[in-house]
Structure 1
Amino acid sequence: MIRKLAAGVAGLVLAALAAPLPAFAAPPPDGVTVDFDHLSLVPEVRGSLQAAGLDLGRKPRLLHDLTATIDTSGLAGVATVRRAFADDQDGCTFTDALITCAEGTVTTVWTNFVTLSYQPVPGAVAGAEGSATLRITSRELGTLTKTAKVVLTQEAELAVPGEQGQAFDVEPGDTVAMAMSISNPGTVPVTGVDAFFDIDARLAAVKKYSNCWYGTRRAYCHFDQTLEPGRTYDAAEKPVLRISPEIPAPYVFESFLAWQTPADSRDYVDIVMAQDAKKGDAGTLKLVARAATAKAALPQTAGPAGERVFFEVHGKQTANVTAVGAELTGEVGDTVTARLGLKNLGPSMLISYNPAAEAAVIIPAGTTVTKSPEECEGSGSYYVCRIPTWRAETFTDKGESVTWPFTLRIDRAGPLTGWVTVKENLIYLAQPPETNTTDNTADILIGRPVRNTATPGGTTPGGTTPGGTTPDGDGGGSGGEGGGGTLPITGANAAVIGVAGALLIAGGVVAFLVTRRRKSRFEA
């Protein structure tokens, strides 16, 4: 059945691969990325459209004096640039080789300053190359810069032979050998080709080749060989991939294998290399021709060719999500920091594209939140925190904690008690739900003041007592900064926990995460 599924989606592959991959490029610490793709243009045939944009990540941010400038002086003799749409961003001005877009003060998640149309200069020939540079400034961001290379290319063709799909039946910890084949159905030789494929917490490369680069979520191999017209080529050996022993089961997921010419693949290469990619050292992976080859020289463009790779994991294992609370001490007027959240006890990882699990936090009465994490939504005594997802699946490994720091001011003497209740988000969960929910609630306990001559005032911000979480998120199921235990839940306490459960259910339906408005790439 899974093979029928693979064949059924084959027609969707090229459309899916034609769009840029999710931007897994390592962003600045605050999650900001600049959208400004490299371009390939075919002389006398077609140009391309390009969006110049700014992506701020998950949540809106206030920016002052936001301005974008695009310097196109590096395109002389290669391409001309104009506004793609007559009504697109009237705030942009075009003067000689400089485009200026003044946004002013905005609150935004994603901004498309302008969409540009690039056309080859009449008479320019394949092989000519230029560049354009986008600079974005604001008070908050300073200056961000990205340069897009624009190259004139020869038109070529690529295609994946056969069913354009692979499927594997596996169990946790299994290895599989992935076939790699590519054809040139066109009339001109294709000089060099790049192959891109997934690697992540679910899937690891066993052998890493010297002509391949391996990031945290993507990898690619460069083949410095020529694909002759009408010929098909196979990898000399099938790369071996290992399924994580901690993968959920039963579980189905898909990967991909995409092929592009080096001129077209520059954005994809940037994505891989930004993931602190490492070059392999286990020999060169080569393509073996099913027929003789020839040699060509021009940079080329060819629509991406690719196939989906499906994995059906058999077995029975899932994650166990437990709450991480905190036990703190301090005097009235002190501020303390509680790292609250959840921990995955395994045996499997926790996987989701959107938040797979979330925590409802009930702040102890008698305290005031003076600073709350940006991933947590709420106010006063109630917050809902969700695992950040950025633009890809979130993997919470076995033994990994995800905690959020709350800074609390103690307003009256203790003991003061609050709670953390965690729950898997069944709307987005990509695996079997947990079977043990007995450890899904933990205490937030602020006890009576305990004098400590080494810590003035008796506070324990960033506490390190046994069982507590550390700044990198490790910690026990009921621990927190300063450690923690469990109090009986009865009467009014049980009612409050019920409120927490309701918050989680509502939060699963109305997620506060802002979906990225994805950039697009067009051909005109």
Structure 2
Amino acid sequence: MSLIRRRGAAALLTAAALLTGAIAPAHADDPAIELDVPTTYYLNQPGVGPTGGTRLWLEPRLTGGAAARADVTLKIDASDLKGKAKLRSRRQCGQHAGGTTYTFTCDLGTLTSGKPKLLDAVYIEAKPGAKLGAHGKLRYTFSAPGVPDSTFETEVWVAGPTLHTRVEKPLKNLKAGSTIAFTPELRNAGAYPAKGLGLMLHTNHLQAAVQYRNCRYGTAGDQSTAYCSFDQTLEPGQAYEVSEPFSISVSKTVIHGDISYSASLPGVAHEWQDGPGADPAQLEQVGSGPELSLRPVERPASAFVEYGRPIPTTLSLDTDLQAMAQPIEGRTGQTVEVRLGMRNAGPGQPKRPTIKVTPPEGTTVVPPEPDLEEPLDWECGPETAGAKAYHCRLGGGMTPGDTAAVTLTFRIDQRVRDAVGRVEIVDNPKFPAHDPDRSNNTAPLEARATGGPLVEPTQTPDTSGDQAPAASGSTSGSSGSGPLIATGMALAALLAATVAAHRYRTRRSSAPTDTT
């Protein structure tokens, strides 16, 4: 007697199959040995992929409360795939070269409840010359003394459909703390039906709500992921949208975020790309609401693309960044460390704010030695090759009320009369800070050198608009060049206090550029 059970599950047929396929529990008597396999599995086209095929990860487990079962065997029958695919085996399944046999038996010995036994002895690939779109059944039958056989099957396709996602526009001027409804759309751009679809939605600095019962959800820091499985068929050339939108909470402070989504099918031809949230261990919550489905919609093919990019989101929220600088103090010929930075007075949280450091005449920034063992919180480098000005970009964001400072080393080459440089907050064109008050975005960087002859300046420092932040408890006074600067113990304490909370280092590089 054999129990036939077909399950489209997010399971270990391969690492990709962990994240694809819809779960369809059996309604017959439970088998003694369980195996989760996708209903449909797509191979790469012939000649594409690793030599010798892709490993099938199989993890049988006991059911029915049995503590252990001895003398378990697994029969693999791929006779329906002759001329389409070829299998090879090793270890418990015997040595069989690819394409030499389509049925073989694996000796699994004893299976123990709670102790997974991962079978990694079977490989599969498309057969050279196989017709694209050819398909057939792959069957697995477990046998053990005293219990009925348990049989599972997967329909294996040579190549398969191509799934595209909708071209999305940026989501701008979102209200802080609001909730938005987001509806992904897909299109089967291939020539074959798509079965056992998985849809993964990922957010940065937003939060996807736990909703639908055929979806799993997870959160890691300020990122969230939803993975939904659909036991539906997507017809070639047809576009689809999810039946209900995803409910996504917008951040209360973080100005810039993004939403991305992608579709995949079980099999090596449709593996998930590595990325945040792709680990199924993070997806620990299951929705309890209605089942999410896909419904056909009329859309032109031009509305979809094979590899969609993250969809930028922007809040309608301003921020107030304030530049800060300590003076460069020391004797001519010395190198001194100076802390420079910025404060975020809120209410928004910008992404990767940047300061431009223009050294005072008579001083030079000493390029730091790279230290790859330290965390890289700042990226600093000359504005252009050989330039005196430096750009320093903070690696992450700044929450309202935060102060971030970086230590740069300056060499005092000459004692120049009234030498003043500047620390200026410059906008990141990709992630603008939305800072309407530019009056405090620049702070003067004074050089207070002693020793050596006093040299007259060869250039007039541009200090127009220079003003340091009016931080609580700081003192302000007029310098010889006229602009207001934050001085004294209050600013020194404010800059030094960041050392306790953050670790910074700079690296020698060209001016930082944003590639994300």
TM-score by length of 1: 0.45
Greater relative contact order structure (CA < 8 Å, 6+ sep): 1
Which structure would you say has the larger Rg? 2
